[in-house]
Chains A and B, each alone.
Chain A
Amino acid sequence: DQQVKQNSPSLSVQEGRISILNCDYTNSMFDYFLWYKKYPAEGPTFLISISSIKDKNEDGRFTVFLNKSAKHLSLHIVPSQPGDSAVYFCAASARIQGAQKLVFGQGTRLTINP
């Protein structure tokens, strides 16, 4: 039972254009959502997050949108840069047994072409 889904395994975008990565979730108990970026042989790096009480959060070139009724969130990167090429994981958080549990999507490999 995959509670967090990223349906696009890969995405290719031209440098300078907008990259849009999508994520869907099924569990209504999730109350916080995060995006992580991962390079090979490294740990995930936290990028940006959003609380379930908001619909948008912006940090520089990165904006996350949350549509709670559709159980859908997206990450917009604009303008895209070659250094953005990496695997992006969407993660959803729920508090269970007094601790925070993150459930990750399968990841989307983003390639930025010069």
Chain B
Amino acid sequence: DTEVTQTPKHLVMGMTNKKSLKCEQHMGHRAMYWYKQKAKKPPELMFVYSYEKLSINESVPSRFSPECPNSSLLNLHLHALQPEDSALYLCASSQNWGYEQYFGPGTRLTVT
């Protein structure tokens, strides 16, 4: 089973809203990732969690706040976003010392 699930599939939010994106995997992977992908662009790394601890933050604005409650779950809390934050947000996971990352289907976020 190489499934990573993400909810919701689509999200529309205003610039003053607070919302959260959720990601879940049951492959026993200990590394989880958040990526942002704009149209016709490659995925760009935002955050990496390794053994539930934040390992990499790619200088992401504080209006994006990641959280890893346990080894299977990864959240991305959103607050006061801008229209340019509209994108596909992808979650991925991998074995901590493995190289292949497995991606979820993504959440299409629109900020109005």
Contact = CB atoms under 8 A, between A and B. Distances in A.
Interface of A: 32, 34, 36, 41-46, 49, 89, 93, 96-107
A34 B42 CA distance: 14
B103 A45 contact: yes
Dominant secondary structure of chain A at its interface with chain B: strand
B42 A106 contact: yes
Interface residues of B, number: 29
Interface of B: 2, 4, 6, 31, 40-45, 48, 50, 55-56, 88, 90, 92, 94, 96, 98-106, 108
A43 B5 CA distance: 10
Contacts of B88: 41
B42 A41 contact: no
B56 A97 contact: yes
A34 to B, nearest CB: 7
Given A43-B104, A44-B90, A96-B56, A32 B42 contact: no
A41 B108 contact: yes
Contact of A44 (B31, B40, B103): B103
Given A97-B55, A101-B45, A101-B48, A49 B100 contact: yes
Nearest to A95: B97
B99 A49 contact: yes
